[in-house]
Structure 1
Amino acid sequence: MKLLVTGGAGFIGSAVVRLAVARGHTVVNLDALTYSANLANVASVADSPSYAFVQADIRDRAAVDAIFAAHRPDIVLHLAAESHVDRSIDAPSDFIDTNITGTFNMLEAARKYWVAEGLRECFRFHHVSTDEVFGSLPADPDLQFTENTPYDPRSPYSASKAASDHLVRAWYETYGLPVVLSNCSNNYGPYHFPEKLIPVIILSALSGKPLPIYGDGSNIRDWLYVEDHADALLLVATKGTPGRSYNIGGENERTNLQLVQTICAILDRLHPRAAGRYADLITFVADRPGHDARYAIDPTRIRTELGWRPSVSVEEGLERTVLWYVENRDWWRPLLTRHGVGQRLGTAKPTT
């Protein structure tokens, strides 16, 4: 089976590419190679005869059309997106252009190709989204996001992803394009670009710098190991019912403070400080504007319909992740010089 993966040099996309090639699929990786992309993420499959890389931007409709015509995929896994909430606060236009206009281009190119191919029943367009489109939950553990939860995005990033989700559903209802959607919880693991919480904490700790936590650290997220997510995405893409959406959760809720404390404890064991404990470096900083209190996914549908559930606990996944960053300094050191990395972003205040 031939897969067209957009954003395949990014964090989640590269995990999908590596796993798909390992399982015998042919993969075409479409990536614009923006600031958070890294071809080192797919170096392990770069020489495989089942892998091809095409540098292109999903905002370039002509380039996308040409890729469909040249490679004739069976399945599209659309992961290319601007995804960092803090950056969306500072520069929302990038998120509108890529996440909304880019998704529109992908849908139209896919529709044109699908029609030209005779409306093949096996074709799928899998749009990968986030649980952030659902807004914020209270602390009540009985409340979780389901596929029927009304959308309530609260940041430019989540609003742009919500818009792209609506476009995908509209192309199914209006044109019959065989789409599937998935909304995931927070991912983590190897190859995570060093501007997100977990790599920021690990790399700051290794450098002896303060470990920044927004607000009082009480914000809750459901953490999903990236390789578990890649497994779920391939399952949804190949076995999901057209027109259906699937929530993919890690079943690992933690407050940000609990998460950072766990990372500190792992580092204390694997890479002790010369003096003191890593938790001594924890520093609370001004909160992000509009910071959602809690995300939590109910994964019942994907479990009952497709038989999937996560295999990696947050403790096991964090240990793997910390060890990977400790052992792969040559991967992350060059990334620290990229635009915005190591800076506090997303501090824009309302204007009057």
Structure 2
Amino acid sequence: MRILVTGTAGFVGAALTERLLARGDQVYGIDNHNDYYDPSLKEARLARFQTHPAYTHVRGDIADAAVVNAAFTDFAPQRVVNLAAQAGVRYSLQNPQAYVQSNLVGFTNILEACRHHGVEHLVYASSSSVYGANRKLPFAVEDAVDHPVSLYAASKKANELMAHTYSHLFGLPTTGLRFFTVYGPWGRPDMSPMLFADRISRGEPIDVFNYGNHSRDFTYIDDIVEGVIRTLDHVAQPDPTYNPERPNPGTSNAPYRVYNIGNDQPVQLLHFIELMEKNLGREVEKRLLPMQPGDVPDTWADVSALRRDVGYAPGTSIEEGVAKFVEWYKSRQH
């Protein structure tokens, strides 16, 4: 298939693109290579597949409608995966405009292009952060998500609402995937696994927020990519059991779906740090600090809908995943 992927120099985007190329798809990638974190890591990810004969790369911003429209006109994608977004909860407290541009303006450009070019299926990244102030665990797609606690979360909830509008008005099949704490080789340096690895390897103390009472549904990158591909291949359909008098937030009478994609196995943050220390061969001091603004204490994905519809089954234990991540991390330090 001809698949357009945005954010191909990003963590999930690069891993997904490699898999799609390996199975014989043609991929057109768009990435703006911004400096939210070290662009050299993005270049290194891209170098793994940039010269592949079935890959085309454009350095551009999805917030620029001309870039998006040219991509759709030149490549005529059958399916689209939108992973380009301004990521990170804490940065949204400092630079809200970046989120409006990428996550709202950019996503609108993608939706419009999909509509006008007859795309078969749009899969896009949402986030576990949409659950916001919810405390019922595990988080289920049937739960209402109306209390975001960061602008990043609000922008992702907005993406789901915008996608539903296009599914309803124009029959565009859309599927949103709420990612839960993705980690693994080539991961983002602003996320806790990389921050912990850096500090442990240098013997520096680690700041542990919420006094170490956090738990996260850490999900290994290969499991995420497997779920994205299964979802991409399973075009969203209207839900025949949808009842407008008792609406299910995860489905619709339009071709629209929202799924959690996680490991369904929450891990205490202190246990995650212990595994990192064990694999890196040293222990460091933990500074227990209060919760940060915009953060949530626990995440846990109910992935039953994704299991049911596409046979998704995350297969990487936290022990195995951390070991693979640390092995990659060490190889990058030399």
Q: Same fold (TM over 0.5)?
A: yes
- Deviation per CA, 1:104-153: give whole Å up to 9, x if none: 11101111111xxxxx6xx1111111111022444x7xx31222211121
- Deviation per CA, 1:63-87: give whole Å up to 9, x if none: 1101100011111000001111111
- 1:248 maps to which residue? 261
Tell me, yes or no, if the aligned pair for 1:181 and 1:245 is still in contact at 8 Å.
yes
2:92 to 88, 91, 101: 88
Shift, 1:305, TM fit: 1.5
- 1:126 maps to which residue? 123
- 2:332 maps to which residue? 328
Deviating runs (4+, > 4 A) in structure 1? none
Tell me, yes or no, if the aligned pair for 1:2 and 1:27 is still in contact at 8 Å.
yes
Instruction: Calculate percent identity across the aligned residue pairs.
Output: 29
TM normalised by structure 1 equals 0.85
1:206 to 201, 213, 217: 201
TM normalised by structure 2 equals 0.89
SS of 1:12 mapped into structure 2: helix
- 1:8 maps to which residue? 8
Matched, 1:266 2:293: no
Long gaps (5+) in structure 1: 115-119, 269-276, 331-352
2:305 to 301, 325, 345: 301
Distance (Å, rounded) in 2 between the aligned partners of 1:63 and 1:99: 16
Tell me, yes or no, if the aligned pair for 2:90 and 2:294 is still in contact at 8 Å.
no
User: Aligned ranges for residues 34-183 of structure 1 at < 5 Å?
Assistant: 34-35=34-35, 36=37, 38-114=42-118, 123-138=120-135, 143-151=137-145, 152-183=147-178
- Deviation per CA, 1:175-217: give whole Å up to 9, x if none: 2112122112110001112111010000111122222211301
- Deviation per CA, 1:210-257: give whole Å up to 9, x if none: 222113011121011011101110110111424122221112211222
SS of 2:219 mapped into structure 1: strand
How many aligned residue pairs are there? 311
Distance (Å, rounded) in 1 between the aligned partners of 2:232 and 2:148: 25
Long gaps (5+) in structure 2: 237-254
Tell me, yes or no, if the aligned pair for 2:6 and 2:83 is still in contact at 8 Å.
yes
Aligned Cα root-mean-square deviation (Å): 1.5
SS of 2:212 mapped into structure 1: coil
Distance (Å, rounded) in 2 between the aligned partners of 1:282 and 1:95: 32
Distance (Å, rounded) in 2 between the aligned partners of 1:101 and 1:323: 39
Identify which range, 55-64 or 176-185, moves more after superposition. Answer: 176-185
